[in-house]
Amino acid sequence: MVLEDKLFTVKYVPDTISHLQPDNEKCKTCENKACTIVCPANVYEWDNVQNKLIVNYENCLECGVCRIACAKHSLKWEYPKGTKGVTFKLG
Ligand code: SF4
């Protein structure tokens, strides 16, 4: 099963603003950019042209792995507000 099929089993109600706020100045100095590797939902992409981290927060599974993996402590991480965020249909 490909990632997109697995993500289809969860329901999202995205907030209007991101609950994931990286400090891009710290991200620029990060050598391994672990968030782009460890996130099970591929939320993070490093854009070499813009020299910034792209955050597709609407797909976040709220697992918290990115916050733990970030060596630069760059990420301000909060749960989405109110009834926003992910709902696990099978969990
Ligand atoms: Fe990805 Fe989990 Fe971080 Fe959400 S909390 S961005 S799913 S690693």
CA 65 to centroid of chain Cα atoms: 9
Mutate to test the pocket of ligand 1, among 20, 27, 61 (most ligand atoms within 8 A of CB): 61
**Which tens digit of pLDDT belongs to each residue from 3-40?**
778 778 888 999 999 999 999 999 999 999 999 999 99
Q: Band the pLDDT of 91: cuts 50, 70, 90.
A: very low
CATH assignment of the domain containing 63: 3.30.70.20
Domain span including residue 33: 3-88
The single-letter DSSP state of residue 58 is G
Measure the CA–CA gap between 21 and 19, rounded to whole angstroms. 6
Measure the CA–CA gap between 34 and 14, rounded to whole angstroms. 24
What is the pLDDT at residue 4?
79
Mutate to test the pocket of ligand 1, among 7, 44, 63 (most ligand atoms within 8 A of CB): 63
Residues 6+ apart with CB under 8 A from 56: 42, 43, 44, 45
Number of domains in the chain: 1
**Which tens digit of pLDDT belongs to each residue from 42-56?**
999 999 999 999 999
